[in-house]
Chain A
């Protein structure tokens, strides 16, 4: 579904991302882990054409991301609060996204009704603007917004952060279901090793912009990752 070739991103002389080759097949739940500054958000921003690659390219379902815009109809994402429109209510926001993705109100309502549990009664019908919701509830709205319009690729940056435990568990089930049953390619980044190992079939570890591990998730994966990240930063670099 997604192919990355010789992708690099430089700011001045600083190389922040350098990926030779990465293939993410359709329907895979893909996890991205790494410390701060490893290049996770940079990679996601490149996938969404929010920044320009220095060299190389990304192909999303046959479309080269930085030359054509045809990847937009089947790709959706939630990166941070800047993906929300603060002066809309959650409902208005969902309908707006729906309109951009050719979904009428009824379609959006049908989708939202599946997320009643996830919202926990704190999002819909509250007569509040998104800017007045708590961080956790903003996140919930943003994540569900990215599910609107049957996307084939969903990119979520740190989706578990700021969520309460109940919602974290529900979100894990939702993501697994999307990938396994509906064939959606889900890309997730996280600092929480436990969550990613539970949700993702495959985990890629980034360090200083380079791939240092590419693991097919198994029972030992969590231990392997914990060992890896508990070593000193210097030894990680020598790997």
Chain B
């Protein structure tokens, strides 16, 4: 996640820089600023939609403050003001700020651009505080969803040109710097609406109540066919499905299947560029790296118990390996449509999947034995760097760089076929030697056991 979060922020900033030029190139006779304004309505609605799922006011953090001589009004101001600094608010700014800088460099009036940026900040804060007000009922989600779909349908069938109308309204914000105060006023009023709501509800049985989700148990008896790793497999599936951060990894992984489109849709690389191999390793191995890099820290909360129980470490690791292998196969199957870009794309992805299966699975499990940082599963999933250390960055080297270099070398000096052939053979060999490799890895885990137990015990590391 750590690597991924940084990557996302950089991509956002990059898009912010490029946006102006992309728009100017695609719509030569429209002011890029107007085009951006046209889509701002969707931005607001979609951001509200996503925040509904992801962002909650961290009211639990203020429970300890109730016992100290601090006025309830100060506590309320504190938590609301703090939410203004949450990472969600900076996400849009990572795009808006570079975009504004480009605008100014391109000769747009400085005052207008800065006022527009100021208005964006006001809007981000309004979204922030509106979310806390509305995310109390599921109905809001339905309304938001139908608004987005409704607007899009009206637009699509040429009933009402929604974006044009919305564009005009948002464009006025840019034309009249004085109007930048409107979003600010909106932000302040939503802030005070929150304040009034929350201040009278600062009680343990009101807004500070822990919401216990009802446990939903599902029948996982189909895992029995996997033999004696079944209990661990069931535990892992529950681990993934019942904790936000792990669940998030699954969704991210599935979404990342689209990653390749960025590169395949550009013709600048040629059919067999090394970048495609990197993309192939990345796509088929995204769950491998996102989930695998934190093995066994996912189990850190109860690692002491696992180690005092009658647990064969080997079976424990085998279950993780099986889970990751399944993810690789699934990701490969999902990547089959890339054959549209030529059979070589399919061949590359296939050899990448084999390489991931045979070589990278044991490699990531081995590197897991260096993990000593605790992961608190109950913590939120977004921008959560917990458990991240140098290991997570080091592991990328053998995981992605080594196969890319191998491929590059073989392709340049021999041929494309030889390159993917060697990678596939390496993968198959690794898969055949899987048993021995896992035995060795289990041995390393056993040796490092005491350090892991001690490390995982340390909170807030």
Whether A87 contacts B310 by the Cβ 8 Å rule is: no
Whether A129 contacts B213 by the Cβ 8 Å rule is: yes
Interface string of A84-126 (1 = CB under 8 A from B): 1111110110001101110000000000000000000000000
| A49 beta carbon closer than 8 Å to chain B | yes
Give the interface SS of chain B, mostly helix, strand, loop or mixed.
Answer: helix
Whether B307 contacts A86 by the Cβ 8 Å rule is: no
In chain A, positions 169-226 with a C-beta closer than 8 Å to chain B are none
In chain B, positions 210-255 with a C-beta closer than 8 Å to chain A are 210, 212-217, 231, 234-235, 238-239, 242-243
Whether B231 contacts A84 by the Cβ 8 Å rule is: no
Whether A96 contacts B235 by the Cβ 8 Å rule is: yes
Q: Known A96-B231, A128-B212; judge A50-B304 contact (CB<8 A).
A: yes
Q: How far is the CB of A127 from chain B (nearest CB, A)?
A: 5
Whether B235 contacts A83 by the Cβ 8 Å rule is: no
Q: How far is the CB of A93 from chain B (nearest CB, A)?
A: 10
Residues of B near A131 (CB, < 8 A) are 378
Q: Considering only CB atoms, which chain A residue lies closest to B307 in the complex? A: A50
Selected interface stretch from B33-41, B257-265, B450-458: B450-458
A-B interface contact total, Cβ < 8 Å: 80
| A238 beta carbon closer than 8 Å to chain B | no
| A58 beta carbon closer than 8 Å to chain B | no
Whether A82 contacts B302 by the Cβ 8 Å rule is: yes
> CA separation between A127 and B231, bound complex, in Å?
21
Q: Known A89-B215, A129-B215; judge A100-B453 contact (CB<8 A).
A: no
Q: How far is the CB of A68 from chain B (nearest CB, A)?
A: 12
Whether A128 contacts B308 by the Cβ 8 Å rule is: no
Interface size on A, residues (CB 8 A): 31
| B377 beta carbon closer than 8 Å to chain A | yes
Residues of A near B238 (CB, < 8 A) are 87-88, 92
Residues of B near A77 (CB, < 8 A) are 308
| B436 beta carbon closer than 8 Å to chain A | no
In chain B, positions 285-327 with a C-beta closer than 8 Å to chain A are 301-305, 307-311
Whether A86 contacts B304 by the Cβ 8 Å rule is: no
| A52 beta carbon closer than 8 Å to chain B | yes
Q: How far is the CB of B295 from chain A (nearest CB, A)?
A: 16
Q: How far is the CB of B384 from chain A (nearest CB, A)?
A: 16
| A72 beta carbon closer than 8 Å to chain B | yes
> CA separation between A84 and B214, bound complex, in Å?
18
Q: Known A77-B308, A89-B217, A99-B231; judge A132-B212 contact (CB<8 A).
A: yes
Q: A72-B310, A92-B238, A128-B214 are in contact. List 12 more A-B contacts (CB 8 A).
A: A49-B307, A51-B450, A72-B311, A79-B304, A82-B304, A85-B302, A87-B239, A92-B217, A100-B310, A127-B216, A128-B212, A129-B212
